[in-house]
Structure 1
């Protein structure tokens, strides 16, 4: 793929330079709309392993983001095989967002995969300033996912993800999203570029749940024990349920709520607006507190004068 200076052409898709702030020797990645369309139409005809093989040489500072769901585990296994195939090629590190509310089965799976894939460097990010659920609740209150779901998504997932991308100078990420998962993912492309310029690659976009499950069984890939109990998509324990017959794969996530994504794959502008409104509220509360303090002070002064 080409790496060139941004021109004045109006059809340029936002680009992102891998390690732009710390490794200026790396090329800037710029994908035009036509180039992106061509890549997606071509990659749609390839198997996930071939897509991953291409990604490894096409994108600098490429990482895998994973919550150790079934798709992420397949990708992890494929990347491990590719590393054996070409040991001189750069390895792909993984990023795991530990919200502090994962099922114990998920955390056990993380340890199993570390043993199975010792060549994968795993970067774990938690909510800022918190190491345990108790610390999180002391800082943000109990059941924040109920009292303020947008704030919960921000502090538990979106902010840690953005911190990881910044710390690691991430240019592109591999995700486990698939069209067969339903909801907003039905029109998923292989390659997307978000409004911040982050390139997202969905190598298993065209696979069904059965294809993923078959791969896991046939290749003896470690998987979450909850899969055998009716769970098909596993997130936080407080917002995940088993899936019923005939339901979408992700129907067990946020059941009864008007949401299908945790925030990481939503438009960042939504969270920019959320932060703006939260800051406005904070400033109003500070102003109200200051005015009340002044009123109390004036009231005390009048009493003394009387």
Structure 2
């Protein structure tokens, strides 16, 4: 079953006899993708019964402006490989891929990006970095040393959330494929196949039902390139400063932000959280500026 479509300002013209909306509507009348709650619940119930390949095929025929967002973890690599097989014909459209280069990835991760480009040359890869910087040194010069420790929410915004939102806007993204799975633990334990975030972005988790073992087996059986760090005990790989190897029996993502309460990097948190944070920071800056003005005035009067 496809997505439901509703016009923004202008109702599409209708064929009186057929009762169906015309497919020749002007671009200005093209609708957004929209799911009612009952429809979303129904889709999740149905897609839950399907394997990842079938879910991906449904996405390809149902969701316009579909992209894959990935840091090239194992699950994202499986998704990428499955899509390459579904769209194996030379003239078949490919799903564009978005990668957020935080400037703090392991070198092994950046090496993997190059391997993926060679393995899947037809895939269009969009790389987004923190705004106005190109290197870790430039990031540090602009935002301070070890920002991920001093102000972690600000780091998440600058390195991940803002670049992601900029990518969604510039690429006109309506739906994304993610690599999240229930077996990763934490807040991901009750993932649906399809989610809609607080900004209306549709997020599809095609491998939500798979275990880490199933993902590993697919990678091995299909000779998919993967991050060398996985052979050194890492199961979930993010920035070098917040990623450690995982011990036997631990959740996959237990090596991320070890010792901290957080379990997500920011791009899968509600966007309203960061809007509130930025508002609080602006109010704090305004208060500090006002205090400085008053102190200066008192000094002059004295």
Do the two structures share a fold, i.e. TM-score over 0.5? yes
Q: CA deviation at 1:107?
A: 0.2
Number of residue pairs matched by the alignment: 283
Change (3 A) 1:26 1:91: farther
Partner of 1:257: 260
Task: Quote the Cα distance in structure 1 between the aligned partners of 2:29 and 2:250.
Answer: 49
The 1:177/1:166 distance shift into structure 2, 3 A limit, reads same
Q: Does 1:240 align with 2:222?
A: no
Residues 90-169 of structure 1 mapped to structure 2, 5 A cutoff:
90-169=93-172
Moved more, 28-37 or 254-263: 28-37
DSSP 3-state at the match of 1:159: helix
Contact 1:83 1:89 in 2 (8 A): yes
Corresponding residue for residue 269 of structure 1: 272
Tell me how far 1:290 sits from its aligned partner. Answer: 2.0
Give me the whole-angstrom Cα distance separating, in 2, the residues matched to 1:206 and 1:243: 21
Structure 2 counterpart of 1:45: 49
Contact 1:157 1:264 in 2 (8 A): yes
Deviation (angstroms), 1:241: 0.4
Q: Deviations over 1:174-215 (max 9, x none)?
A: 000000000110100000001110000000000000000000
Aligned residue in 2 for 1:226: 229
Instruction: Give me the TM-score of the superposition, normalised by structure 1.
Output: 0.89
Unaligned runs of 5+ in 2: 9-26
- TM-superposed CA distance for 1:5, in Å, is 4.2
How far 1:285 sits from its partner (Å)? Answer: 1.6
Deviation by residue 1:75-97 (Cα, 9 ceiling, x = unmatched): 11111112215x54432100000
Structure 1 match to 2:11:
none
Q: CA RMSD in A?
A: 1.5
Cα offset, 1:268, TM superposition: 1.2
In 1, Cα distance between equivalents of 2:85 and 2:29: 29
* Partner SS for 2:203: strand
- 1:84 aligns with 88
2:68 is the alignment partner of 1:64: yes
**Cα shift at 1:129:** 1.0
Q: Which whole-Å deviations, capped at 9, do the CAs of 1:116-152 have from their partners, x for residues lacking one?
A: 0010111111111111111111111100111011111
Distance 1:283-1:222 versus aligned 2 partners, 3 A rule: same
Query: Secondary structure of the residue that 1:173 maps to in structure 2?
Result: strand
SS in 1 for 2:253: coil
Residue pair 1:56, 1:90 contacting (<8 A) in 2 also: no
Q: Give me the whole-angstrom Cα distance separating, in 2, the residues matched to 1:25 and 1:120.
A: 30
Instruction: Return the alpha-carbon distance in structure 1 between the equivalents of residues 86 and 230 of structure 2.
Output: 26
Partners of 1:40 and 1:165 lie apart in 2 by 24
What corresponds to 1:35 in structure 2?
39
> Which residue does 2:24 correspond to in 1?
none
CA distance in 1, matches of 2:296, 2:84: 62
Name the counterpart of 1:180: 183
Q: State yes or no: 1:287 paired with 2:284.
A: no
